[in-house]
Amino acid sequence: MKWSFKLGAVSGIDIRIHFTFVFVVIWAAVQGVSGLGGIRGALFAAVSILLLFVCITLHELGHSLVARRLGVRVKDITLLPIGGVAQLETLPERPLHELLIALAGPAVNIAIAAGLALIVLPLGSTAALLNPGYLSYLLLGSRSLLALLIYLLGANLILALFNLIPAFPMDGGRVLRALLAMWTSYPRATRIATRVGQLMAVGLALLAFSSFGSISLVLVALFVFTGASYENQIVQARAAIRRLRVRHALPTHPIYTVATEDALTKVLEMSYRTYQYAFPVVQDGMLVGILSRDDLLAAFQRGDRDMQVAHVMQREFPAVSPDDMLLKAQQLIAQADVIALPVFDQGYFLGLISLEDINRTYANLSW
């Protein structure tokens, strides 16, 4: 994510923090000065918010570590002023896997709250800790270790309960979708879960204008409503993309080939004349390599313009068939770091498919 920097890594998962996070700490310190008084109050509030975000990081690590255990790749975790975001490179394919990944985060918060409860109970009498007036004094007027522990205990319980609300983008929305996807299709389960979340958002907005609500509920309702809509759009688009095959993106214009003994100057002239960015290299009727314009220009920059194609072309590359999923071709291009893939149908070379061809097909689908 832009404007973020790396704090460290846990089990190969990068922990990053967005630069705007500093404003949360400053805001907490200012509140500490006005609410608790003085520099000590500011430090107490700043430490409290930092420890809260440690708990949020552990929440996201719960999601991420379970995801990795189930074969889902995790890119990183980024801390933002509104919370943490774990970026998954792939999505879980099975509903049970999504269910376990979604429940892992709230389970971490419940475990933290239980651990804090074991520490808090010996520090004070149970009757006093259950007294609302005493708790208010601790949380609003005290700077003690007990107050900090009770704050973190309550915050973790709230995090767990809030995230279990059955609405996207909270974990509860993913739990609901996973349960629905066990008896219906994934896109349909997402649509149903989206509608449930949006109905809850409308309910929260109405509650905001009642005697029991506050205007902040409108912001929560807007967050839930837009988050649910966005999740549904992503899943429906992904479902449509997964129906596309390589044959849907194969270019219809002619593909010009080159030979291994051709000079690079000849290929460069052909590239400018045909606007072709990748050339199949054919020898004795067989595809033996691929020459991209990037490799061609790199050779010219090195002063190798008199070389033949055979010395510059890529000899190792993956291939796809017309019936392979287009998404697979896109992933292969990224993993192999090539500009295009050859397409074979029962050993017969059909042409090259590039990332530009794939993106154009996606754009046509969106229209």
* Whether 193 and 268 share a structural domain: no
Full pLDDT tens readout for the chain, 367 residues:
567 778 888 888 888 888 787 887 777 777 766 666 667 777 877 888 888 888 999 999 999 999 988 888 888 888 887 777 888 777 787 899 999 999 999 999 999 999 988 888 776 645 545 555 555 545 555 566 777 888 888 889 999 998 998 888 789 999 999 999 999 888 889 889 999 988 988 888 888 887 776 777 888 888 888 888 888 887 877 777 778 888 888 888 888 888 888 888 888 888 888 878 888 888 887 888 888 888 888 888 887 767 888 888 888 888 899 999 888 888 888 777 788 888 998 888 888 888 888 888 877 766 5
CB 201 within 8 A of CB 193: no
* Whether 33 and 134 share a structural domain: yes
* Whether 191 and 259 share a structural domain: no
* Whether 16 and 141 share a structural domain: yes
DSSP class of residue 78?
E
User: Residue type at 208?
Assistant: A
* 96, 130, 164 - which closes a domain: 164
Give the residue numbers spanning the domain of 23.
1-164
CB 220 within 8 A of CB 170: no
196: its two tokens: 């449930």
* Whether 4 and 141 share a structural domain: yes
* Whether 134 and 272 share a structural domain: no
* Whether 254 and 307 share a structural domain: yes
Which long-range contacts link 298-307 to residues 24+ away (Cβ below 8 Å)? 299/264, 300/264, 300/268, 304/264, 305/264, 305/265, 306/263, 306/264, 306/265, 307/263, 307/264
Q: State which H helix or E strand residue 38 sits in.
A: helix 38-69
| Residue of 59, 48, 25 lying closest to 161 (CA atoms) | 59
* Whether 214 and 327 share a structural domain: no
* 148, 164, 180 - which closes a domain: 164
pTM of the model: 0.66
Q: C-alpha angle with apex 20: 86 to 139, nearest 5 degrees?
A: 85
Q: How many helices (H) and strands (E) does the chain have?
A: 13, 8
* Whether 282 and 356 share a structural domain: yes
Identify each DSSP E strand in the chain by its residue range: 4-10, 13-18, 74-80, 83-88, 278-283, 286-292, 340-345, 348-354
* Whether 115 and 139 share a structural domain: yes
In this structure, the number of other CB atoms found within 10 A of the CB of residue 283 comes to 14
Q: Is beta strand 74-80 parallel, antiparallel or unpaired with respect to 13-18?
A: parallel
* Whether 36 and 128 share a structural domain: yes
Nearest-angstrom CA–CA distance, 26 and 38? 14
The SS3 call for residue 178 is helix
* Whether 123 and 180 share a structural domain: no
User: Residue type at 355?
Assistant: L
Indicate the number of domains in the chain: 3
* 190, 209, 243 - which closes a domain: 243
- Residue showing tokens 């759009």: 233
